[in-house]
Chain A
Amino acid sequence: MKEILIRIDGKEVSAPAGSTILEVAKQQGIPIPTLCHLDGLSDIGACRMCIVDVGGKIVTSCTTKIAEGMEVITNSDRLAELRRLNLELIFAERNHVCSMCVSNNHCELQDLACDLGMQHVEVPYAYPRLSLDASHPKFIIDQNRCILCGRCVRVCAEVEGAHVWGIAGRGSEARVITELGIDWGDAEMCTDCGKCVQVCPTGAIVEKGKAAAEMEKHPELVTTLKERREND
């Protein structure tokens, strides 16, 4: 495979053509924060946390493929500020109340806020009135805690093949839905496999019966599952 030469944080590296900037950075041990990305699922650049600077232009590293001579900066004051603002907007858009959340202490969104030093949300909270669907016998989807990362949509389509999850609406009105917007408990295609629960980075899709801080997830199971299928 053709190798391409790029410069990343001043270091010259070569990687196979078709690689994304995020993949190259990972190989080089350069940390880039991610949220909607999960190894084993396709990338859609939804959360904008993995942004990097390519010759002055801000792009998502998970969806941008490397090109010959590309100059990438993964960390700068500007990038840190933009990432934090992105994160604040995610928090402000829905109702994330960590203290009573089932995913408290086991939440990728919460971890990212700690990692990026987000101590306050300076943009005004939207406090939308959102629904909670507990109609499925085993699982709950709480829109208050959804960040629209789309992992549930991708895992259901790409790994389970059931295509139960989708996204309806646009902008701040966008919502994850089951089938064509019916209650999850009525979704006939759902196999109850729970992969959407495991990959959801927050307390949005959870197991029923979990109390505060009890929901621990294992998204890496999906990564492993995908790898094994590809190696078969």
Chain B
Amino acid sequence: MTREILIDPVTRIEGHAKITIYLDDSGEVNDAHFHVTELRGFEKFCEGRTLWEMPALTARICGICPVSHILASAKTGDAILAVRIPKAAELLRRLMNAAQFVQSHALSFFYLSAPDMLLGWDSDPAQRNVIGLIGANPDLARKGIRLRSFGQQIIERLGGKKIHPAWAVPGGVNRALSKEDADFIKANLPEALDTIRITLDLFKSSFADQETRGMLSDFPSLFMGLVSPDGTWEHYDGNIRIVDSQGNIVVDQFDPAHYPEIVQEASEGWSYLKFPHYAPLGYPEGMYRVGPLGRVNVCDRFGTPLADAELEEFRAGSQERSGRVFDYHYTRLMEILASLERMERLINDERILSPRIRAEAGINELEGVGIHEAPRGTLFHHYKVDANGVIQWVNLIVSTGQNNLAMNRSIKEIAQKHIHSGKFDEGILNRIEGGIRAFDPCLSCSVHAVGQMPLLVELRTPDGETVDRLIRD
């Protein structure tokens, strides 16, 4: 008898989703689908608005990573104005993006995923959350919360508010950094660095063994991310690099403005989330991964000493690239460290205090692409405008969407490993969710939403009849 297991909603992720697991007659897993169940429509309703409103408008795609959309949108604006922004503006945008990496990655690790690792995958679901974490390890929880807060405070000091700061604009930014705010960042960096080093040490001592790292899923794929011209890890600018699991460079220093040549989107009837893939390999063979694991796998180095030492340990002398989904957590922590080290450099560069922060220009191009690295991966904004700067067409390829094929592969593999003869329990379902959670998907963004994050698992007969279901709110 074929049955379906439905996990609805998926918990501790950002957005709405459900998972369906299809079983064959003997109760073994045939296939698994990750369904994103929300629809938004930003690409359509941005049409008719002005270019200058786009950062604030697209920021509303997400409350977790508004900074990512603001920066991608402002960069698209730069391209349409055809300006090179002042150095201070670039440094400030980099600083805000580093702060965004710190706060978003800390949220993913400490609030959403650490409960699985530190309290146990099979622990009581009622306790398996950040509140349970505070009870079990108050010191670590406090440190994690303070680390996220540090990132949020930098965003607030730069942009005027923590969420949806209307600060980056086409041509630069609209407020310079004050000496007082620079001093605040300098004064608080040591504590943040201390927290991430302690957390990385704890992570490596408890979870860095091969068995744990392989516990979710492990499969080959392409990896994509931005790198600087010399191959260094990049989060704000740079060009696209794609590597395969053997570490071979497939695409290098590719101009992001030509992204449609390498990235195309497919769609399936069972999800509102599209399926971007590497165009030359087609769909679904062109599966690639972005985000922390993608960026770490494509770069030659981080370019900062502490993060580079971590990278060396992570790669362990191997040319091969990790395909382990659990390593998203590991690389996420490495990226917090790298972001804090970058922040230290930025804040000590005196050019960042310059009041020259905005290039003024009219509409000089009718089309522009803005690309940068959001915490969850490479983010593309692409607009066409008329001669007056009114938006005619918008395409957004959001980080989470690019992991869609890999997330589906991940849950299928975990389900196949744990579900046999149609038998499963809550702990197994949590591991399947964990196979999604590791990617830190932002579904609100991916379908360009605001919402809760729910999981439902259903068992269905071949006729589609539901014979069992497990729901979590």
Residues of A within 8 A of B (CB): 99-100, 102, 104, 132, 134-135, 137, 140, 185, 208-214
Contacts and interface: CB of A to CB of B under 8 A. Distances in A.
Given A99-B164, A132-B50, A212 B388 contact: no
Contacts of A212: 53, 55-57, 166
Contacts of B53: 100, 102, 211-212
A211 B48 CA distance: 15
B148 interface: no
What is the predominant secondary structure among interface residues of chain B facing chain A? loop
The 5 closest A-B pairs by CB, nearest first: A212-B56, A134-B388, A212-B166, A211-B169, A100-B56
Contacts of B50: 132, 134, 140, 208
A134 B164 contact: no
Interface residues of B, number: 19
A77 B82 CA distance: 56
B280 to A, nearest CB: 38
A56 B95 CA distance: 62
Contacts of B390: 132, 134
Interface string B31-66: 000000000000000001110110111001000000
Nearest to B169: A211
B388 A213 contact: no
A133 to B, nearest CB: 8
Interface in B164-196: 164, 166, 169-170, 174
B415 to A, nearest CB: 41
Contacts of A210: 52
A99 B56 contact: yes
A212 B167 CA distance: 9
A209 B48 contact: no
A100 B170 contact: no
Contacts of B60: 99-100
22 contacts: A99-B56, A99-B164, A100-B56, A132-B390, A135-B388, A137-B362, A185-B388, A208-B50, A208-B52, A208-B389, A209-B52, A209-B360, A209-B362, A211-B52, A211-B55, A211-B56, A212-B53, A212-B55, A212-B56, A212-B57, A214-B166, A214-B174
Given A99-B164, A211-B166, A132 B55 contact: no
Nearest to B390: A134
Contacts of A134: 50, 388-390
A102 B52 contact: yes
A95 to B, nearest CB: 11
Given A100-B56, A100-B60, A100-B166, 20 more contacts: A99-B60, A132-B49, A132-B50, A132-B390, A134-B50, A134-B388, A134-B389, A135-B388, A208-B52, A211-B55, A211-B56, A211-B166, A211-B169, A211-B174, A212-B55, A212-B56, A212-B57, A213-B166, A214-B166, A214-B169
